[in-house]
A and B are shown apart, each in its own frame.
Chain A
């Protein structure tokens, strides 16, 4: 039972409970959170790879942008407690990317420029639930928000949507990524408030 903090009152309007997970509040801004400097990889040097399958599959930027794209409008939820509703993205479905590879693995470790990694089950990337997004709000995705391309896995806390993503390593075991190694939850479901290990 939580103690009452004397004199504390709600100031924000109640968030719609079917849209906003517990403990989150709605923001109209798009805050930036990253552990280091923003990388700037030229598109001529950019590629996206999937390793750990029967063979490594790699797309150059041109090849990647030639893949079928989708427009996605979705809500995003950051573990630092902001949620942003109806964000508009453009990207390539992971169904397309993973569909180009043969594999048995059940997990992936996504990796990014700058050394960032994050892990999740393959199943969370399939079925129209995840994209590699290169567009945001009708324009290109800005570098501070993960451009040229970032993972978009909106049903998990947003640290799983790795900025500056460069590929996926298919894994037999669920290997913790960057924040997961620093005490954040291995799966990160916002609707179950899986913020930290053990939640």
Chain B
């Protein structure tokens, strides 16, 4: 199988929070300093992969969660976390943690929902994100820029509102060959001219590359979003094998 990456044991490494940056009221990007991340045994991550994060309380209690890597390979490791109010780990990472705090990380993990130059054999890329599902897709866009790749990209990004858009400063001036199309499902700014509904077949027909272009699609978001987008793309003629999905359950945090 292409892209097979079975390595030795993934060990936990201590990470120090290098910087925190608020993306939205509920979403924060953490840069993590991991001394061995770039070491010879660590293995470079690939755009689209995730890491496991482990927190330890002073009474020894531990909690682990998986988070998509927001940074491109070769960049300092960063994760972007959305706060889930009834969660245990995400409220800590989005509200309490500050520069210099320590946690543990292991990874990178996952070898299917990844992109690197050459993935897709020349066809254009369709990226479809629901909410914080944009995180691994942002890593893909950064990797495309970092490597000087010129594959044409359309990113269809569904958010609840304008204020919920993550990475808006990056997406406001996308690199050449990248087009970002928003849909705002719950509320829109005055004078909003873009889409204002959940992604549906009509929107996909307007936004997605024609199947004849042999596009490769990456779809990430909540289950209902991924189900409808992936099914819509198959209906438009995308072979199922060219629609890679990553789903966030309604739980976790």
Within the complex, the shortest CB–CB distance from B64 to chain A, in Å, comes to 6
Which of B88, B96, B109, B245 is within 8 Å of A37, CB to CB?
B245
Count B-side interface residues using an 8 Å CB cutoff.
55
The answer, yes or no, to whether A138 is at the interface (CB within 8 Å) is no
By a CB distance below 8 angstroms, the chain B residues around A198 are: 7-10
B12 at the A/B interface (Cβ < 8 Å)? yes
**CA of A3 to CA of B34, assembled, Å:** 13
Known: A37-B233, A38-B230, A182-B112. A5 touches B4 (CB 8 A): no
Q: Is the interface of A mostly helix, strand, loop or mixed?
A: loop
Contacts of A7 in B (CB 8 A): 92, 96-97, 101
Listed stretches A23-31, A42-50, A97-105; interface member: A23-31
Cβ proximity bits A126-157 to B, threshold 8 Å, 1 near / 0 not: 00000000000000000010000000000000
Instruction: Report A-chain residues with C-beta under 8 Å of the C-beta of B212.
Output: none
Within 8 A of B (CB), among A104-137: 114-115
B21: Cβ under 8 A from any A Cβ: no
Contacts of B99-153 to chain A: CB distance below 8 A:
101-104, 109-113
- The chain A residue with its CB closest to the CB of B12 is A2
Cα(A2)–Cα(B63), bound, Å: 12
User: Chain A: which residue is nearest B64 at the CB level?
Assistant: A23
B231/A37 in contact, CB under 8 A: yes
With known contacts A6-B101, A199-B9, A37–B240 Cβ distance under 8 A: yes
Which of B51-59, B158-166, B195-203 is the interface stretch?
B51-59
* 4 A-B pairs closest in CB distance: A31-B249, A198-B9, A182-B111, A37-B230
- A residues near B (Cβ < 8 Å) are 2-12, 23, 25, 27, 29, 31-39, 80-82, 114-115, 144, 176, 178, 181-183, 196-199
Known: A2-B62, A32-B226, A182-B3. 8 other contacts (CB 8 A): A2-B12, A4-B57, A8-B63, A10-B61, A29-B249, A35-B244, A38-B227, A197-B9
- List 6 interface pairs A-B (beta carbons < 8 Å), by A numbering: A3-B103, A5-B101, A32-B249, A35-B113, A36-B245, A197-B7
